[in-house]
Structure 1
């Protein structure tokens, strides 16, 4: 039996358009072209998928937990329509200026995920369009992947990565390209 593999995907900029600021309503959440289909392909290849996200809007009172749940329910509905699913959502509810261990690039959320699933780092893949989630996962031994969307839309996946990205990070033109790479026979 094959060991479980878990893909941990940063939400904003990796799965959805960044928009003009904090996503505070389900209407603000708009999937990037091909992102939902890429997740469905991961699921079909036997991967479990978790979403990780900093949500400073909760700490700043711009949205509440019920609204965040509605945003994630919209994502799940749209994903189900293309044959995919997210197994769990992990988020930091703190504002930017609060000292917490869960706001990425701190490792708290990634450690929670690893403990919940009982995985070794080598069984986890972390993908993001910004450095913070990969910085948070770097100490766990997970495979680190940058996708050129969101905050990294202008990055050339063939060029050396800027210094903020952890050593060993692999770059991909899109989430679809990453899924192509990890599901190839």
Structure 2
């Protein structure tokens, strides 16, 4: 197997963990069935996993950055225990009406990830479940994959761009990708 590492960017809520609205404490972070195993499989196949997530609950005062860090510590621990690894987590703390250009659907968060990992985004797969995710992926030039978990079913029903790949969940995306490695 090729040992060259590839980068994959994942949204968090609705892709890795259940979308339960604004998650404010670690106990509310619950992985979607099969997602931890999928992350482990990505790691074994030499993918670097980066998470890109909007976290407006911070601006709304529903959680602090310390709360978010505690949630992410739990996520890292569960992913590590399953044999996976998350290289980095990028987030925007603002609400949609704040006008922040880092928040998805803007491609800026993804551009920042590309710069920090020194990759071209046209070689990067982006997995998300919302229109914001797909818009950011398209604008940044990523290969967009919509999963039907989280808000993905509604996003799909509302219509997606022709070059968006649609899969049932993260595990299905990974089965496809790892088979091509």
Structure 1 residue ranges without an equivalent (≥5): none
Note the residue ranges of structure 2 that are not aligned, 5 or more in a row. none
2:174 is aligned with 1:173: no
Contact 1:128/1:146 (<8 A) preserved: yes
User: How far does the alpha carbon of each residue in 1:16-38 deviate from its partner, in whole angstroms, 9 at most, with x for none?
Assistant: 1112x210111111100110110
Structure 1 position 4, deviation (Å):
3.4
Alignment of 1:123-162 (within 5 A): 123-153=123-153, 162=158
Maintained 8 Å contact 2:131/2:155 = no
Q: CA RMSD in A?
A: 1.7
- Kept after mapping to 1: 8 A contact 2:129/2:155: no
Give 1:173 shift: 1.2
C-alpha distance 155-62 of structure 1, shift in aligned 2 (>3 A)? closer
Q: 1:11 maps to what in 2?
A: 12
In 1: Cα distance, 2:90 partner to 2:155 partner:
27
CA distance in 2, matches of 1:184, 1:10: 22
- TM-score under structure 2 length normalisation: 0.92
Matched, 1:182 2:173: no
Q: Which runs of 4+ in 1 moved over 2 A?
A: 1-4, 153-156
Q: CA deviation at 1:166?
A: 3.5
State the secondary structure of the residue aligned to 1:6.
strand
Note the C-alpha offset of 1:167. 3.6
For this pair of structures, how many residues does the alignment match? 179
**Pairwise mapping of residues 26-175 of structure 1 onto structure 2 (< 5 A)?**
26-153=26-153, 162-163=158-159, 165-175=160-170
Query: How far apart, in 1, do the equivalents of 2:77 and 2:8 lie?
Result: 19
Deviations 1:93-123 (A, max 9, x none): 1122201101110111111111111111232
**C-alpha deviation, 1:148, in angstroms:** 1.1
CA deviation string 1:22-68 (max 9, x = no partner) = 10111111100110110110111010000111000011111000110
CA contact (8 A) 1:126 1:137 kept: yes
